[in-house]
Amino acid sequence: MPFIPHTEQDIKAMLASIGAKNIDALFDEIPAALKSGKLTAVGDGLNEMQVSRLMRERAAQDSQPLNFIGAGAYEHHIPAAVWEIATRGEYYTAYTPYQAEASQGTLQTLYEYQTMIASLTGMDASNASLYDGASGLAEAILMAVRAHKTSRHVLLPATVSPLYRSVARSIVRLQNIELVEIPFDIATGTIDFKALEQYAGADIAAMVIPQPNFFGALEDVDALTDWAHAQNMLAIALVNPLTLALLKAPGNWGSPLPNPLPLAGEGANESLRESNIRGADIAVGDGQPLGAPLSSGGPYFGFMCCKQALVRQMPGRIIGRTVDLDGKQGFTLTLQAREQHIRRAKATSNICSNQGLMVTAATIHMALLGADGLRRAAAASHGNTQSLAALACGVPGVKRLFSAPHFHEVVLRLPKSSAAVLAGMAEQGVSGGIDLQPYYPQLGNAILVCATETKTEEDLQRYVAALRHVLQG
């Protein structure tokens, strides 16, 4: 169906019918001081030729350097079939359609996505996605505070991405929620357990547990989950979905409950066998590593899963499987009483939406790679990063900063200004990592480096040559 804007006559007729003088009159209850007026920073429109030229010029700035930056957005191989299928007309829409049940194919795709991501995270339920990982973290914090009921404090470790922390703070600060920063151990690069002790017994709603953390380091998620639960906090897992192909699923974090449920009989699957583990209560993250190209920062998508007990506190759309009057399988939006069209101001969220198209691509990506393909991509990324770190540390003055095991990112300390070294590497066509100086000045000249499965041995050698050239040149 084409989009047909209203004509001047349409608008006049509608205004006349409701007795409004002009369109501005419809917004007169908004105080004038809050209106932004003219957007002077936004230029006039460009014609198609000008836009094409501008976009070509911008595109030329992308993808040129050999990229070793991760920090939340990862360059992975995406099979060509993923976007060939995702951009078919039947799929090509950004959101859950209105009159959703008329689009059974779209709902089934979202249902399959929920099943895949819930299985990857080891959780009971998934929503149909959120905007991105950072807003997903903010929603998880809001959800934990709603579920906990008594406390509005949440522990947010400094090993969580500084950008995620900034987004979460922006969203929750006006809701009277306090985010308490937990420092990290400068030797290991992971959450400092000693710093946690002062919060033992305090009334705190939840703790965020990143895995891997922003430095690529692996947190002791079992001990952290157990500790959070012992303090009556919810455990919010912030995870990279690709790494879950190898790492323990958040749903299985922590120790078994003291009184295990009776084990299921023969034929019990893995998730049943671990049903006596409470695990993380909420799992969120950015789905970008599952089929979304870097695209200068987006669109990506956020995923969010939770345990059954919290499902009515989850924001966003949830697709359910049911049967129609004839007993045939059908898909439907479910648990909608959480949502704003029913619950209005008391909805679980009035700021979220889903990223249907990105999720469609992720579903196809996961289906094409399969569990084994995801494992291989994750393992190759880990292996390449280990190799790169070892090679880089062969350059005089360069060393790995943290002792904890790392997944596919490492922090390197440089003997010279990190900003200058990265600029020098960029001149040689290598994006050498991100400078941690603005975010963690206490680390000195430190950079965060990532080598995914897309990098070859030759690429790693090129990185090291560029680094050597800058440091010794």
Partner 1 sequence: MSNPANLKYTASHEWIRSEADGTISIGITQHAQELLGDMVFVENPAVGRKLKAKEECAVVESVKAAADVYAPVAGEVTAVNSELDSAPEKINADPYAAWMFKMKPASAADVAALMDAAAYQAVVDSEAH
d(CA 465, CA 453): 20
What letter does residue 243 receive in the DSSP assignment? G
Instruction: Tell me the backbone φ, ψ of residue 139, rounded to 5 degrees.
Output: -65, -35
From 109, 95, 73, select the one nearest 290 (Cα to Cα). 73
d(CA 136, CA 99): 25
For residue 171, which amino acid is it? Answer: I
What's the closest the beta carbon of residue 333 comes to partner 1, in angstroms? 12
What's the closest the beta carbon of residue 112 comes to partner 1, in angstroms? 25
426: number of Cβ within 10 Å: 15
Closest CB to partner 1 among residues 337, 390: 337
What's the closest the beta carbon of residue 318 comes to partner 1, in angstroms? 14
CA dihedral 82, 373, 455, 448 (to 10 degrees): 100
Asked if 78 contacts 84 with a C-beta cutoff of 8 angstroms, the reply is no
Q: Which residues bind partner 1 (CB under 8 A)?
A: 149, 312, 337-338, 342-343, 346
Q: Which two tokens stand for residue 147?
A: 């579920």
In order of 100, 327, 328, 330, the CA distances from 323 in angstroms are: 16, 5, 5, 5
Residue with tokens 């994750």: 378
Closest CB to partner 1 among residues 56, 346: 346
Closest CB to partner 1 among residues 343, 399: 343
Q: Which two tokens stand for residue 210?
A: 């990143």
What's the closest the beta carbon of residue 261 comes to partner 1, in angstroms? 18
Closest CB to partner 1 among residues 294, 347: 347
What's the closest the beta carbon of residue 336 comes to partner 1, in angstroms? 9
What's the closest the beta carbon of residue 308 comes to partner 1, in angstroms? 13
Length of the chain: 473
Closest CB to partner 1 among residues 77, 312: 312
Closest CB to partner 1 among residues 342, 419: 342
d(CA 428, CA 104): 51
Largest CA distance in the chain: 78
Q: Give start and end residues of each alpha helix (H) in 149-253.
A: 162-172, 193-196, 221-230
Q: In which element (H, E) is residue 210 found?
A: strand 206-211
Closest CB to partner 1 among residues 273, 312: 312
Residue with tokens 């040129």: 64
Closest CB to partner 1 among residues 20, 337: 337
Closest CB to partner 1 among residues 153, 338: 338
What's the closest the beta carbon of residue 315 comes to partner 1, in angstroms? 14
What's the closest the beta carbon of residue 281 comes to partner 1, in angstroms? 17
Closest CB to partner 1 among residues 125, 393: 125
Instruction: Tell me the backbone φ, ψ of residue 111, rounded to 5 degrees.
Output: -65, -45
Q: Which two tokens stand for residue 466?
A: 């560029």
Closest CB to partner 1 among residues 152, 248: 152
What's the closest the beta carbon of residue 149 comes to partner 1, in angstroms? 7
Q: At what angle do helices 133-148 and 162-172 cross, to 10 degrees?
A: 50
Closest CB to partner 1 among residues 49, 345: 345
The DSSP line for 350-408 is SS----HHHHHHHHHHHHHHHHHHHHHHHHHHHHHHHHHHHHHTTSTT-EE---S-BSS
What's the closest the beta carbon of residue 100 comes to partner 1, in angstroms? 15
For residue 161, which amino acid is it? Answer: S
What's the closest the beta carbon of residue 260 comes to partner 1, in angstroms? 23
What is the SS3 assignment for 457? helix
What's the closest the beta carbon of residue 263 comes to partner 1, in angstroms? 24
